[in-house]
Amino acid sequence: MTGLAIAGLTKRYGGARQAAAVDGLDLAIGANRFVTLLGPSGCGKTTTLRLIAGYLMPDAGTIRAGDRILSEPGRVISPEFRNMGMVFQNYAVWPHKTVFENVVFGLTVRRLPTDKARERVERMLDLVHLSGLGGRLPGELSGGQQQRVALARSLVVEPGILLLDEPVSNLDARLRERMRAELKDLQRRTGVTFVYVTHDQAEALALSDEIAVLHGGRLQQVGSPEEVYRRPANRIVADFMGLLSIVPARVLDAAAGEVELEGGGRIGGIGGIAARMGDIVDLGIRPEDVRLRPPDGRGIAAEVVDRVYLGNVADVHLALADGRRLRAQIHPLDPAPVGARVEIEIDVRHLSVFTRDGEGGAP
Q: Return the residue of 84, 205, 233, 259 that touches another protein, per CB under 8 A.
A: 84
* β-sheet bridge partners, residue 261: 249
Give the three-class secondary structure for 105: helix
Judged by CB under 8 A, does residue 82 bind another protein?
yes
Nearer residue to another protein within complex by CB, 105 or 230: 105
Taking the complex as a whole, how short is the minimal distance between the CB of residue 57 and another protein, in angstroms? 12
**Residue length of the chain:** 363
CA dihedral 122, 125, 129, 130 (to 10 degrees): -100
Q: Return the residue of 105, 136, 252, 324 that touches another protein, per CB under 8 A.
A: 105
CA dihedral 173, 178, 179, 184 (to 10 degrees): 130
Judged by CB under 8 A, does residue 148 bind another protein?
no
* Separation between Cα atoms, residue 24 and residue 265, nearest integer Å: 43
Judged by CB under 8 A, does residue 96 bind another protein?
yes
Judged by CB under 8 A, does residue 106 bind another protein?
yes
CA dihedral 39, 41, 44, 45 (to 10 degrees): 50
Judged by CB under 8 A, does residue 114 bind another protein?
no
Nearer residue to another protein within complex by CB, 109 or 277: 109
Region from 148-156, 178-186, 248-256, 305-313 binding another protein, contact rule CB under 8 A: 148-156
**Spatial CB neighbours of 67, under 8 Å, sequence gap ≥ 6:** none
Judged by CB under 8 A, does residue 85 bind another protein?
yes
Strand pairing report for 290-293 and 325-330: unpaired
Judged by CB under 8 A, does residue 144 bind another protein?
no
Judged by CB under 8 A, does residue 78 bind another protein?
yes
361 sits in which H/E element: strand 360-361
Cβ neighbours of 61 (radius 10 Å)? 20
240 sits in which H/E element: helix 235-240
* β-sheet bridge partners, residue 275: none
* Separation between Cα atoms, residue 117 and residue 95, nearest integer Å: 21
Within 49-68, the residues that bind another protein by CB under 8 A are 53-55
* Separation between Cα atoms, residue 49 and residue 72, nearest integer Å: 15
Judged by CB under 8 A, does residue 139 bind another protein?
yes
Q: Are 208 and 196 spatial neighbours (Cβ–Cβ below 8 Å)?
A: yes
Taking the complex as a whole, how short is the minimal distance between the CB of residue 79 and another protein, in angstroms? 4
Q: Return the residue of 19, 73, 80, 178 that touches another protein, per CB under 8 A.
A: 80
Q: Return the residue of 79, 143, 242, 263 that touches another protein, per CB under 8 A.
A: 79
Taking the complex as a whole, how short is the minimal distance between the CB of residue 123 and another protein, in angstroms? 17
Judged by CB under 8 A, does residue 131 bind another protein?
no
Judged by CB under 8 A, does residue 109 bind another protein?
yes
* Separation between Cα atoms, residue 354 and residue 246, nearest integer Å: 9
Judged by CB under 8 A, does residue 46 bind another protein?
no
Nearer residue to another protein within complex by CB, 159 or 225: 159
Binding residues for another protein (CB under 8 A)? 53-55, 78-82, 84-86, 88, 90, 92, 94-96, 105-106, 109-110, 138-139, 150, 153-154, 157
